[in-house]
Amino acid sequence: MESDAGGERMQRNYNSSGIILGNPNNPQPIWPTIDGSLGLSEDDSLSYARSFFKFGFFLLPWLWAVNCFFFWPVLCHYSSFPRIRKYVLGSAIGFVVFTVVLSSWALTFSIGGERLFGPTFDTLVMYNVADRFGLTDESVNSSNKLGSKLAVEIASVASSLLRALDIVTIAF
C-alpha cells in the first residue's frame, strides 16, 4: 500500500511477474519505458533515469531529452513509478530551461549582432578566426607573416600527400 498525493491509500496491483498493472479491471501493464515489455525492470529504469538526469548537468542536456523520450510513459502516467518520475520530470524541466536559454542566446546573437554588441562583436564571432590568424587566401597572398608562411607550407604538404595517395590508389 502506498499513499497518493491526496493522502488516500492506494494499492498497487502486480501481476505474477512483478509488473505494475494500471487498472485492476484492465490488466494492461504500465511500463516505465517506451519499449514496453522489451524494456527495463523498474529498478534498472530507476538507475538509467538517475544516470541520464545527473549526466545532463555535465553539459550534456541532450541526455535530458533522451530521458524524457525513453521514459515517456512515466511522464504520461503521473501516479505510476514515483521513484523514477522525479528524475524524468527534473530532466524535462532541465531540458526546457536549457532550450530556452540556448535559443535566447542564439537569437540575441544573430538578431542583435553588431548593433547590440558594438565593436566587441568582431572578437565574439567565430567566422573570422581564419582571417585573424592569416589562414585565408587573401591574407596569405598579401602578408609575409610567419603564420601565413606556415599556412602555405601546410597546404603544400597536404597537396603532396594527396598526390601520393592518388598514385598509391591508382597502383592498386
Q: Is the pLDDT of residue 22 over 60?
A: no
At 144, is the secondary structure helix, strand, or coil? coil
Segment 23-38, tens digit of pLDDT = 556 544 467 777 777 7
Going by C-beta distance under 8 Å and a sequence separation of 6 or more, which residues neighbour residue 108?
A: 116
DSSP assignment of 9-57, as one string? EE--EE-TTSPEEEETTEEEE--SSTTGGGS--HHHHHHHHHHHHHHTT
At 120, is the secondary structure helix, strand, or coil? helix
pLDDT at residue number 33 = 79
DSSP assignment of 34-46, as one string? TTGGGS--HHHHH
Residue 106's alpha-carbon distances to 65, 99, 101, 102, 111, in angstroms, are: 19, 10, 9, 6, 8
Q: CA 147 to CA 122: how far, in whole Å?
A: 20
Segment 128-161, tens digit of pLDDT = 667 767 776 654 455 555 556 666 677 777 777 7
Segment 11-21, tens digit of pLDDT = 555 555 455 55
pLDDT band at 3 (very low <50, low <70, confident <90, very high): very low
Segment 82-126, tens digit of pLDDT = 889 999 999 999 999 999 999 998 888 888 878 888 888 777 776
pLDDT band at 50 (very low <50, low <70, confident <90, very high): very high
Q: Is the pLDDT of residue 48 over 70?
A: yes
pLDDT at residue number 5 = 47
